[in-house]
Structure 1
Amino acid sequence: MNARVAGALYLLTFITSIPTLALYRPVRDHADFVLGAGSATPVTWGIFLEIVLALCCAGTAVALFPIVRRRSETAAVGFLGSRLLEAGLILLGAVSLLTLLALRDDAAGADAASLVTAGHTLVGVYDGTFLVGQSLMPVVNAAFLATVLFRSGLVPRLIPVVGLIGVPLLLASDIAVLFGLYDMGSAPAALAALPIAAWELALGFYLLIRGLRPSLTA
């Protein structure tokens, strides 16, 4: 039962995360968004979806923790901790955009230049939490969970292999983004994220449809 719940929550993380790229376009397209440019409605929906995303991330950790713990205490704690940290960072990013909307609502009579600076700062906070929370933490998650699933044979080994391949690729990409070699939204960053995305999507479908196989190492 826990496995199927985790599978459903993994799939919900995709449903709730992908639309935000488009929903946050008003913030990206309008440097003076905080002054009232662009529509706030899609941004509000994006924030709502990210709150749901954070809850789904935490739910996968809670659902899979007892299963992973039976195979490795260290991996279980590492997976739980990194997944909850991911959820917390997603919520922090959502709060930064909620603050941006609050500034926008109270913009009347305020100094425009100061508001624009504050708005850019809040967007920068969101971008930072995205890099660490939604890009780096999945690397840590996969390192712990994929290792356990590969060794135990609880799912077909091809699925965790894809995750383990993605770990060094996405880690290297995140480091490149951190040092300014390219942007988070660039083609190299998107390509580097594909294996981790494929691993989580395949795991979600398998757990929801099939559950877990008997452990080959039990």
Structure 2
Amino acid sequence: MATPRRLAVAAGVCYLVTHVTSIAALALYGPVLTDPGWITGAGPDTPILLGALLEVLLAIAIIGTACTLFPVVSRHGRASAAGYLGLRTLEAAVITVGVVSLLAVTTLRRQPPAGADDGALRTVGRALVAVHDWTFLLGPDFVLGANTFVLAWILYRSRLVPRFIAVLGMVGGPLVFASAVAVLFGCYGQLSVWGALSAVPVFAWELALAFRLIVRGFSTPADPGVAPAPDDADAAAAVPAG
């Protein structure tokens, strides 16, 4: 079985992979996301396909973070750890739906239906891009905000990482979730200054957690001031009957 140290390194690497792939994919998607005429235009679609591949890798890395952290954090709260695993998997699934929608735009560009005019293709293309835009809000904002808080809370209670890292997640998760609510109701755009600022704490949390896990691993009871939190089952057993 993998040791906690190896699991920590694997989780840290997965977090770094999520950052690289998500930023690169968004840059590559630029033409299809911003140009309504892309679906009827000429030119290579390789950047879009490469962006889709990177988002597939992103989804795999997201699930990788959950699978590598679960064996360790479940010792400090099985129910919470299972919730994190489920939410992280849901985030990856929502992202994958967005990938499929953009690949569908690429298919229509390569092989437009017989008799379809440019106006109809643009309308369908914008609808598929809108699906991607909504998945970008639901996955990397709503669900990410929830799973970030759950994991940060486990790490804060268990002291598996320094408290300031856990606090970053406990602040960043609700903040990005609240920002998603604001975007949902049209207060500002997701790709706006306010949207970017709301994501800074989560960005800092994931980077700080990744480097901590890769360089130092998890804290242990032998570390100064570290006391492991009780497992859910142990805590339940400690409650007197009646």
Indicate whether the TM-score tops 0.5: yes
> Per the alignment, in what secondary structure is the counterpart of residue 86 of structure 1?
helix
Distance in structure 2 (CA, Å) of the matches to 1:17 and 1:48: 11
Residue matched to 2:93: 88
From 72, 78, 86, the equivalent of 2:83 is: 78
Task: Check conservation: 1:142, 1:164, Cα contact below 8 A.
Answer: yes
Q: Report the structure number with the largest CA radius of gyration.
A: 2
The superposition leaves residues 60-91 of structure 1 with CA deviations (integer Å, 9 ceiling, x where unpaired) of 11111111110001210110000000110111
- In the alignment, residue 15 of structure 1 is paired with which amino acid? V
- What's the offset of the Cα at 1:157? 0.8
Residue matched to 1:66: 71
> Per the alignment, in what secondary structure is the counterpart of residue 186 of structure 2?
coil
Which sits farther off after the overlay, 138-147 or 36-45?
Answer: 36-45
Q: Does 1:117 align with 2:117?
A: no
Which sits farther off after the overlay, 16-25 or 71-80?
Answer: 16-25
- What's the offset of the Cα at 1:217? 2.9
- In the alignment, residue 7 of structure 1 is paired with which amino acid? G
Which sits farther off after the overlay, 206-215 or 38-47?
Answer: 38-47
Number of matched pairs? 218
The TM-score normalised by the length of structure 1 is 0.96
Q: Does 1:48 align with 2:53?
A: yes
The TM-score normalised by the length of structure 2 is 0.86
Q: Does 1:160 align with 2:166?
A: yes
Structure 1 unaligned segments of length 5 or more: list them.
none
The superposition leaves residues 108-129 of structure 1 with CA deviations (integer Å, 9 ceiling, x where unpaired) of 7522222111100110000011
Residue matched to 2:15: 10
> Per the alignment, in what secondary structure is the counterpart of residue 16 of structure 2?
helix
Among all aligned residue pairs of Structure 1 and Structure 2, give the percentage whose two residues are the same amino acid. Answer: 46
Root-mean-square deviation (CA, aligned residues, Å) is 1.3
Distance in structure 2 (CA, Å) of the matches to 1:19 and 1:129: 17
